Chains A and B, each alone.
Chain A
């Protein structure tokens, strides 16, 4: 399977702490995106990082990309209860031009 993998599968932290999720993929990519999904609803686009970028910030989010290791990380700083959701990475395969989704991380932020 070409599906990417994320770890941890589940993460439980206290409000105010930082949350780090990792994504590994297998193929050559054009870009990588991170999404949030609240309780089985639609996916919300968080941030896109291109293959020639190494780090990107958006508010409390920080994303890194290491194409040599085929991995990315999403850091959420000063987490809030409202950040409780599943987070998915998706890589744009440079051969097929289709997005492949990771297995997801379920984040629970305790108030």
Chain B
């Protein structure tokens, strides 16, 4: 049973560029949430997608956007990258929009130079 898979695992981008990160949820899950984990911090909620709609958004600027596809997979897009966007980006999937047991992927390590 495949768990949550994210791609790519590592990425280096230049300030001002745009990046797309991808996530496939655990089999049977229909909800995807994205988190940003900076060094030494806990994961911070970016947004959640359920039924192909953004259900809730954390305290992140509009440069962060996302999408959920009919097969429940999801993308996170970040425009106009800043050095401060360097972080581990985690995708979590769950069944339904309530996080009673969210499963995380291994993350994408984004470095902005």
Instruction: Determine if chain A interacts with chain B.
Output: no
Which positions in A face B, CB cutoff 8 Å? none
Which positions in B face A, CB cutoff 8 Å? none
